[in-house]
Amino acid sequence: DALLLRFRSGVNRIYTYSQLPPPVQKVPDPGIVEAFSAALETCNVEGVHGLFCSLGTSLGGGQDVRGFIVLMASLRDTLYSVLNQLYEGAEDLQYMLSDLDALIEQSTSQQEILHRFDVYACAQLARFSEARSTEKHRYIRVAKEYVDAHLAENISLNDIANIVYMNPAYFSTLF
């Protein structure tokens, strides 16, 4: 997968990550990638959005095209890696990222790439958070139904956690 990221700059000039000489393929600011990764791993949509806003402000005129391409490729790789962990290797993940690649290819400026990447990453995090939240609500609903059905009995946290197949300590944080 030599072509990790490309975007249009100017009239019809396309820069590709694979065309950069090897010494330049170093991420200009690894702290940005680390902050992005941390925000993704904690499903911090505001953190991801804030990072892209600060990147947009710091780019200004966008003179360092090569550094920008390397950074975007690194952020894309990080997004793929973290989403792969969050979704536990879902098969449609590659298709999801091809959607991002298509959005990037349609962009005409660095600012537009940042905006589209921001919207896409935040949407994916929101989608994952909603799915995870729905799953938690399902466990809580099952637990409440069990408690309602067994009100006359002496029920322990372990009993309820066993019903929903969870560790009692973790379940106590949900309920």
One digit per residue, pLDDT tens: the chain, 175 residues? 333 344 433 333 444 545 544 444 566 677 888 999 998 888 888 999 999 988 888 766 555 677 787 788 888 888 888 888 877 755 566 667 778 878 877 877 888 888 988 999 898 888 877 777 666 677 788 888 888 888 888 989 888 888 888 888 888 877 6
Integer Cα distance of 40 and 62 in angstroms: 25
Which residue's entry shows tokens 């949509």? 45
The reply to whether the predicted model has a pTM over 0.75 is no
Beta bridge partners of 15: 7
What span, in angstroms and rounded, lies between the C-alpha atoms of 43 and 132?
A: 11
CA 13 from chain centre, in angstroms, equals 29
Q: Which residues contact 170 (CB under 8 A, 6 or more apart)?
A: 161
Cβ distance 18 to 63 under 8 Å? no
Angle (CA) 72 80 116, round 5°: 45
DSSP 112-148: HHHHHHHHHHHHHHHHHHHHHHHHHHHHHHHHHHHHH
- For residue 122, give both structure tokens: 């935040």
pLDDT digits (tens, 9 = 90+) for 90-121: 556 666 777 887 887 787 788 888 898 899 98
Looking at residue 28, its pLDDT comes to 63
